[in-house]
Amino acid sequence: MADFPLIRPVFDENELACVEQCLRSGHVTQGPFVREFEESFAQMHGVRHAFAVTSCTTALHLALVAAGVSAGDEVIVPAFSWVSTANAVEYVGAKPVFADIAPHDFNINADLLGDLITHRTKAVIAVHLFGAMADMPRIREIAARHTLCVIEDAACAAGASRAGENAGAAGDVGCFSFHPRKVITTGEGGMVTTNSEEIAYKIKVLRNHGITPQPLSHMSHSWQMPEIAECGYNYRMSDIQAAVGVAQLRKMKNILQERQRIALCYSKRLCSCQSLRLPQAAPLAAHTWQSYVVCLKDATVEKRNRIMDTLQQASIESRPGTQAIPRLTYYANKYGLSAAAFPVAMRSEDLSITLPVFHGMSEEQIDHVCTVLLRACEDDPRP
């Protein structure tokens, strides 16, 4: 295990106490902790509805189904994201149409959306990559002109905001992740958020096998089998996971403050390096710094790889920011995609380096990472 990991989950006796309470209760499927987790998460993000699910991938799947996306439709997605953003579109039989990203924040370039919309386009997925919210007012404006659903892939953005708008409340549906590399974690898990009563009802039914909620007054016997009018899924989060989530939410403000501190330290230490482009938060934005990702300016993927090898030799974990999805074999072959059509996404995968941001990281540790990185950048004259 690296001495300087990308992230460490922030667990203490509070998570243990909540899990113990859950286990002693004997109620380990959906129950009181799921309800508390959902209600607290919704309140924290300023939305009316939140539904705990098994992952952000299943959250995206539910969002697309609830939005009525189906076979033959098209959904615009950013070319630079984790593959599940596009995979969820494939699940419903629709076609992901890739948009290149803006170089300054790694998010979908809203200026390109107009040229990608066709009569088949049903939705846009805006990813808030690495914890920085996309330009949601611009995306909503374009989507509204074409009656498109706006889905936020907020996997990295629990607690993010921009110009007074919270992640998960800025589109029609929001989808979050609680994977261990995210701001808070339940091991695996996700959340769907919405202010739409219609979408909320669909999500509630679809995540629970398609079971139609029935008032108790309609249930003449406790053994009565449920009414199922939809083909749904088993995407429910367990109470054990939600117990961890409840404890994590209680410390999320502190976790975000700590990540902000580390990001500021990195930026102060690295700002004089002419060969690196540093990440920046937009004006009036609260960035979660789920990842601190730098990019080489004038270099090759080979040089980037040599730098990451040097970091690895120093027991410093790093990796590329994320994937240029059109480059992946499945999507390149199925849709005949050319890397040349997505130059910013390709450069971002080839030249990006994610640096460690773990809770409790000291200024000395940050300085050590920066020293190794700067030497690797400056001491190697090869492109």
Show the beta-strand stretches assigned E in 225-347: 276-277, 285-286, 292-296
**In terms of DSSP bridges, do strands 95-99 and 74-78 run parallel, antiparallel, or are they unpaired?**
parallel
Calculated CA dihedral for residues 298, 303, 308, 314, nearest 10 degrees: -110
Tell me which of 246, 267, 293 is where a domain ends.
246
Examine residue 236 and state whether it is found in any structural domain, yes or no.
Answer: yes
Calculated CA dihedral for residues 259, 263, 266, 269, nearest 10 degrees: -120
Task: Tell me, yes or no, whether 73 and 209 share the same domain.
Answer: yes
Task: Tell me, yes or no, whether 237 and 277 share the same domain.
Answer: no
Task: Tell me, yes or no, whether 137 and 161 share the same domain.
Answer: yes
CB 127 within 8 A of CB 85: yes
Examine residue 24 and state whether it is found in any structural domain, yes or no.
Answer: yes
Task: Tell me, yes or no, whether 37 and 154 share the same domain.
Answer: yes
CB 116 within 8 A of CB 139: no
Task: Tell me, yes or no, whether 260 and 238 share the same domain.
Answer: no
CA angle 102, 274, 5 (to 5 degrees): 75
**pLDDT at site 261:** 98
Q: What is the pLDDT of residues 164-223, one digit of tens each?
A: 999 999 999 999 999 999 999 999 999 999 999 999 999 999 999 999 887 655 556 666
Which DSSP string do the residues of 198-232 spell out, in sequence order?
HHHHHHHHHTBTTBPP--GGG-SSTTPPPPB-S--
Q: What is the pLDDT of residues 356-380, one digit of tens each?
A: 999 999 999 999 999 999 999 987 7
**What's the rounded Cα separation, in Å, for the pair 368 and 366?**
5
What are phi and psi for residue 186, nearest 5 degrees?
-120, 25
The domain that contains 274 carries what CATH number?
3.90.1150.10
SS3 assignment, position 15: helix
Amino acid type, 1: M
Residue 268 catalytic? no
In the 8-state DSSP scheme, what is residue 281? P
Task: Tell me, yes or no, whether 142 and 241 share the same domain.
Answer: yes
Examine residue 3 and state whether it is found in any structural domain, yes or no.
Answer: no
**What's the rounded Cα separation, in Å, for the pair 61 and 175?**
10
**What's the rounded Cα separation, in Å, for the pair 69 and 182?**
28
The domain that contains 33 carries what CATH number?
3.40.640.10
Q: What is the pLDDT of residues 293-320, one digit of tens each?
A: 999 998 999 999 999 999 999 999 999 9
Examine residue 96 and state whether it is found in any structural domain, yes or no.
Answer: yes
Examine residue 84 and state whether it is found in any structural domain, yes or no.
Answer: yes
Selected catalytic residue, list 95, 122, 182, 253: 182
Task: Tell me, yes or no, whether 197 and 270 share the same domain.
Answer: no
Examine residue 353 and state whether it is found in any structural domain, yes or no.
Answer: yes
Domain housing 84: 13-246
Task: Tell me, yes or no, whether 309 and 356 share the same domain.
Answer: yes
> Which residues, other chains included, contact 136 with Cβ-Cβ below 8 Å and sequence gap of 6+?
126, 150, 152, 162, 165, 170, 171
Examine residue 4 and state whether it is found in any structural domain, yes or no.
Answer: no
Task: Tell me, yes or no, whether 363 and 242 share the same domain.
Answer: no
Tell me which of 225, 246, 267 is where a domain ends.
246
Tell me which of 214, 246, 278 is where a domain ends.
246
**pLDDT at site 196:** 98
Task: Tell me, yes or no, whether 242 and 335 share the same domain.
Answer: no
**What's the rounded Cα separation, in Å, for the pair 56 and 85?**
9
Task: Tell me, yes or no, whether 224 and 257 share the same domain.
Answer: no
Task: Tell me how many domains the chain contains.
Answer: 2
SS3 assignment, position 371: helix
Residues of the chain with pLDDT under 50: none
Examine residue 7 and state whether it is found in any structural domain, yes or no.
Answer: no
Task: Tell me, yes or no, whether 194 and 282 share the same domain.
Answer: no
